[in-house]
Structure 1
Amino acid sequence: MTDSLAPAPLTLERMRADVADLLGEPPEAVGDDDHLMDLGLDSMRVLGLVLAWGNTGIALEFGHLAEHTTLAGWWQVVQKLQARARVDA
């Protein structure tokens, strides 16, 4: 039996869409290996993403994302945290 109130897992597509929305761009404008700060993402916006994405059930912290500058790097972090959350569940 699944818990219908459980948060949906964070996906790369959602991450891309959320970043693009903050930048006022379409999702396809944000490439996996683009330097997100060069696209205009700043630390306050990253903090907002951390808070929103943390609601998906992973223990995401600002420092996790601050160590990486690309969506691909962030996705690797999220995948590790999701795997850890599954083990801990």
Structure 2
Amino acid sequence: PLLDETDEPLDDENLIDYGLDSVRMMGLAARWRKVHGDIDFVMLAKNPTIDAWWALLSRGVE
């Protein structure tokens, strides 16, 4: 999908295939840690999909 895909990724597609890199993922983890103190890069990297990240972010706020 990185080179051929012009559409937005589906919620269950790997965002790395769409060009997401580790530096951007670390930046997201840092921002989201302000809401959920336990979110870290490893949690995001284990399953880099919109669905997985939504599940992490929609948990009860600390």
Taking structure 2 as the reference length, what is the TM-score of the superposition?
0.70
Larger radius of gyration: 1
Provide structure 2 residue ranges, at least 5 long, that are not aligned to the other structure. 1-6
1:47-66 superposed matches below 5 A: 47-55=26-34, 57-59=35-37, 60-66=39-45
Q: Any runs of at least 4 consecutive aligned residues in structure 1 with deviations exceeding 2 A, and if so which?
A: none
Name the SS of the counterpart of 2:13 in structure 1.
coil
Alignment of 1:1-89 (within 5 A): 29-55=8-34, 57-59=35-37, 60-80=39-59, 83=60, 85=62
CA distance in 2, matches of 1:49, 1:36: 13
- Secondary structure at the residue paired with 2:58? helix
**Larger relative contact order, structure 1 or 2 (CA cutoff 8 Å, min sep 6):** 2
- RMSD after superposition: 1.8
Q: Give the distance between the partners of 1:67 and 1:35, measured in 2 at CA.
A: 10
| TM-score, normalising length: structure 1 | 0.52
Higher fraction of helix: 1
Aligned 8 A contact 2:14 2:47 in 1: no
